[in-house]
Amino acid sequence: MHILVTGGAGFIGSHTVVALSEAGYTPVIVDDFSNADKSVLDGLTAILGKKVICYEGDCGDKQLLQKIFNEQAIQGVIHFAAFKAVGESMSEPLKYYRNNLGTLVALLESMVSAGIPDLIFSSSCTVYGDPAKLPVTEASPVQQPESVYGNTKKVGEEILLDCQRAGLPLRSLLLRYFNPVGAHPSGLIGELPSGVPSNLVPFVMQTGAGLRPQLTVFGDDYDTPDGTCIRDYIHVMDLAEAHVAALAYLKKLNTPNHCDVFNVGTGKGASVMELIRTYEAVSGRKLPFTIGARRSGDVPMVYADPAKIQREMGWSASRSLEAALTDAWRWQQNIQ
């Protein structure tokens, strides 16, 4: 079964391509490579032992989508393609709304006209804002996200729910990711942040590798056990495999239209300091860091209650934070 993976050359997309292929699907990538490197395709070929079908272009281009749908007999779509830099989204909101939401609408229109109902949408725990109760379940209130990026995820979810309410022939699953980290254990694909990483793990890896002088911990005066923020760090291969489980779940549905939300996290929280200590343990290196000011928009604690995806799909994360940081470190050393 051919599955279109938009943004399939990106961090989560490329790992999902591996998981899809290993589960017997035929992944078809469409990516404009605006935030991905073509070398990812070589990594995928090395891991899978075969070339992955890839179309270069904008997945909001309806002509291109029509061409791919026809040429590849696509039977489902996993939609990763989106801009995701939280800080940039605040200074360039229209770029984010046009890309993240305009592309989603174009994709949905193309899917409806091509008679392709099944979509998995990449959403984010950022829609929970600063949760009043932890762990967060799918029934936890969606709050006004702190960033434009987060709002494009929230509005994207609303667009899909409205399509379901209107009875459009679409069946979508909205996967709310927590914090994806790590890399494929082969060390052949991984996270390739452009410029100075804003996310913690790539910054830790580059600091550990001596590419950055030190990590700044954004605040240690939060109301948490060690004062640093707590997040639910999920191995990117666990996240990739959750998409395979979600696809199988969609294919078993016998309703013509559907929309449902699932948290995809480990259910375990880890603080910034715990992550630093874990990195030091798996790498055998001391990490140079300093405590700095809080970063605006950070929430003190957020981690998942993953019971619903376990109950309904029989999937749960299986890899540890140690494994994720070990794999991320191997990848960092390979790309030196």
One of 26, 75, 199, 310 touching ligand WQD (CB under 6 A): 199
Least distance to ligand WQD, CB of residue 135, Å: 15
One of 218, 253, 308, 316 touching ligand WQD (CB under 6 A): 218
Residue corresponding to tokens 């604690």: 301
**Interatomic CA distance for residues 222 and 302, integer angstroms:** 13
Least distance to ligand WQD, CB of residue 200, Å: 4
**Contact range with ligand WQD by CB under 6 A, out of 16-24, 105-113, 214-222, 261-269:** 214-222
Point out the catalytic residue in the list 25, 149, 222, 233. Answer: 149
Rule CB under 6 A: say whether 217 interacts with ligand WQD.
Answer: yes
**Interatomic CA distance for residues 30 and 47, integer angstroms:** 19
Contact 265, 96 (CB under 8 A): no
**Interatomic CA distance for residues 83 and 190, integer angstroms:** 18
Residues 118-177 that bind ligand WQD (CB under 6 A): 124, 126, 177
Enter the tokens of residue 268: 């375990």
Nearer to ligand WQD, 65 or 192 (CB): 192
Residues 257-286 that bind ligand WQD (CB under 6 A): 272
One of 79, 176, 184, 231 touching ligand WQD (CB under 6 A): 231
Rule CB under 6 A: say whether 200 interacts with ligand WQD.
Answer: yes
Rule CB under 6 A: say whether 239 interacts with ligand WQD.
Answer: no
- For the beta carbon of residue 171, count every other beta carbon within 10 angstroms: 22
Residue corresponding to tokens 């550990």: 208
- How many residues touch ligand WQD under the rule CB under 6 A: the total is 19
Contact 324, 270 (CB under 8 A): no
**Interatomic CA distance for residues 7 and 12, integer angstroms:** 9
Residue corresponding to tokens 């069946």: 171
Torsion angles phi and psi, residue 328, rounded to 5: -65, -40
Q: Please identify the residue of the shown chain whose CB is closest to the bound ligand WQD.
A: 229
**What is the end-to-end Cα distance of the chain in Å, rounded?**
37
Rule CB under 6 A: say whether 216 interacts with ligand WQD.
Answer: yes
Is residue 78 left, alpha or beta, with left meaning phi > 0 and alpha meaning psi from -120 to 50? beta
Nearer to ligand WQD, 295 or 308 (CB): 295
Residues 45-74 that bind ligand WQD (CB under 6 A): none
Site string for ligand WQD, 77-116 (x = CB under 6 A): -------x-x------------------------------
Rule CB under 6 A: say whether 220 interacts with ligand WQD.
Answer: no
**Interatomic CA distance for residues 285 and 254, integer angstroms:** 53
Nearer to ligand WQD, 53 or 125 (CB): 125
Least distance to ligand WQD, CB of residue 152, Å: 10
Least distance to ligand WQD, CB of residue 222, Å: 8
> Residue ranges of the alpha helices (H) in the chain?
11-22, 39-48, 62-72, 86-91, 93-96, 103-114, 148-165, 200-208, 236-252, 272-283, 307-313, 321-334
**177: annotated active-site residue:** no
Nearer to ligand WQD, 232 or 260 (CB): 232
**Interatomic CA distance for residues 190 and 193, integer angstroms:** 10
Residues designated as active site = 149
Residues that bind ligand WQD (CB under 6 A): 84, 86, 124, 126, 177, 179, 198-200, 203, 215-218, 229, 231, 272, 295, 298
